[in-house]
Amino acid sequence: MSTAAVNVNRSLFKGLNLRQKTLLILGLTSFLLLAIVVSSLFIDNESLPTDFGSKNLSPSLEHPFGTDWMGRDMLTRTLKGLGLSIVIGALASLISAVLTVILGLLSSAGKAADSFVAWLVDLTLSIPHLLLIILISIGLGGGAQGVIIGVASTHWTSLTRIVRAEIKQLKTQDYIHISRNLGKSKWWIATKHILPHLIPQILLGTILMFPHAILHEASVTFLGFGLSPHEPAIGIILSESMRYLSAGYWWLAFFPGLSLLIVVLTFDLIGENLGKLMDPKNAHE
């Protein structure tokens, strides 16, 4: 019966064209991420009770991810941590996208402004991301606010380079020269001609920024410079589990780490398929 079901699913998927397959993948992956975020919102302290009589239990049907040293269900903690990481990554990516738009439009104002944006990008890239995030997070007192601003302040550079290169190409187009000859201002050209062409790149770049932001948030928190130890973040869960791995409690790190990897790959899958929808020509290559 299971073999027949698999064959039916394969035949149904095989009957879809490339656009339908892409939309189906986007729908399933988006639903997965949305389900994680929504489920994490309903998890509070009452959903994570301590039970020292059930501490350090290995994975079972009752506790699929096992329990930790305080008897808390690791599946519940992992869902809460993933939801928190996704929200932080989303906010940081959106702030980075706003910075990219501002700097991209600024670079179109003239050679001096473009040189300033290029210098700012090179300056930011000259400092290791993780170190800069830690410094900003510490300077802002840590916590979610410090991590969000730290991640947002370091992840706009790559997208800004792409946008800046696209702007240089757009400025050579005939309709840009015609608008200049008609007396249109630089601001009018930037908002009416250049910005609409940048929306696909900015949208796709923002989606692809999500996994990097999530991983850097988890890394900073793992090192102890991010979220508060009382927050059920994935970085904190992995950091705490290091003390118990030598005792054989492998599930404390394995399942949260695997879940984080799946979320990151899901964002990459969304970005890849979104790129196919925006540029169908390259989707067939």
Residue 16 forms beta bridges with which residues? Answer: none
Indicate whether 253 pLDDT > 60. yes
In a domain, residue 95? The reply is yes
Q: What pLDDT is recorded for position 1?
A: 43
Please, what is the Cα angle at 108 between 102 and 109, to 5 degrees? Answer: 95
Region 166-193 average pLDDT = 82
Q: Which amino acid is at 262?
A: I
How do residues 23-49 score in pLDDT, each as one tens digit? Answer: 888 888 888 888 888 888 888 767 677
In a domain, residue 276? The reply is yes
* 277 band by pLDDT with thresholds 50, 70 and 90: confident
In a domain, residue 53? The reply is no
In a domain, residue 58? The reply is no
In a domain, residue 65? The reply is no
* 203 band by pLDDT with thresholds 50, 70 and 90: confident
Number of domains in the chain: 1
Count Cβ atoms below 10 Å from residue 253 Cβ, excluding itself.
17
CATH code of residue 256: 1.10.3720.10
Which string of DSSP letters, residue by residue, matches 88-102?
A: HHHHHHHHHHHHHHH
What is the CA 37 to chain-centroid distance, rounded?
A: 13
Q: What pLDDT is recorded for position 220?
A: 85
Domain that holds residue 203: 19-40+75-283
Residue 198 forms beta bridges with which residues? Answer: none
Helix (H, G, I), strand (E, B) or coil at 242: coil
Q: How many CA atoms lie within 13 A of 137 on its CB side?
A: 27
pTM: 0.79
Q: What pLDDT is recorded for position 5?
A: 46
Closest CA relative to residue 162, chosen from 133, 204, 132, 214: 204
Q: How far apart are CA 166 and CA 195, in angstroms?
A: 10
Indicate whether 275 pLDDT > 80. no
% of the chain residues with pLDDT over 90: 1
Helix (H, G, I), strand (E, B) or coil at 67: strand
Q: How many CA atoms lie within 13 A of 217 on its CB side?
A: 36
Residue 178 vs residues 64, 75, 167, 185: alpha-carbon distances, Å? 64, 60, 16, 12
In a domain, residue 127? The reply is yes
Q: What pLDDT is recorded for position 2?
A: 44
Q: How far apart are CA 165 and CA 117, in angstroms?
A: 12
Average pLDDT, the chain: 81
Q: What pLDDT is recorded for position 13?
A: 55
Closest CA relative to residue 153, chosen from 85, 96, 215: 96
Indicate whether 9 pLDDT > 70. no
Q: What pLDDT is recorded for position 89?
A: 86
Cα dihedral 45/50/55/56 (nearest 10) = 20
In a domain, residue 273? The reply is yes
Q: How far apart are CA 213 and CA 228, in angstroms?
A: 18
Indicate whether 81 pLDDT > 50. yes
Closest CA relative to residue 254, chosen from 58, 86, 87: 58
% of the chain residues with pLDDT over 70: 91
Q: What pLDDT is recorded for position 8?
A: 42
Q: What pLDDT is recorded for position 215?
A: 85
Region 86-95 average pLDDT = 88
In a domain, residue 8? The reply is no
Q: How far apart are CA 81 and CA 53, in angstroms?
A: 24
Q: What pLDDT is recorded for position 208?
A: 83
How do residues 99-152 score in pLDDT, each as one tens digit? Answer: 988 888 888 777 888 889 889 988 888 888 788 888 888 888 777 888 888 888
Residue 232, token pair as written in the block = 């059920």
Count Cβ atoms below 10 Å from residue 97 Cβ, excluding itself.
21
Contact by Cβ (8 Å): 124, 184: no
Closest CA relative to residue 83, chosen from 271, 259, 269, 270: 259
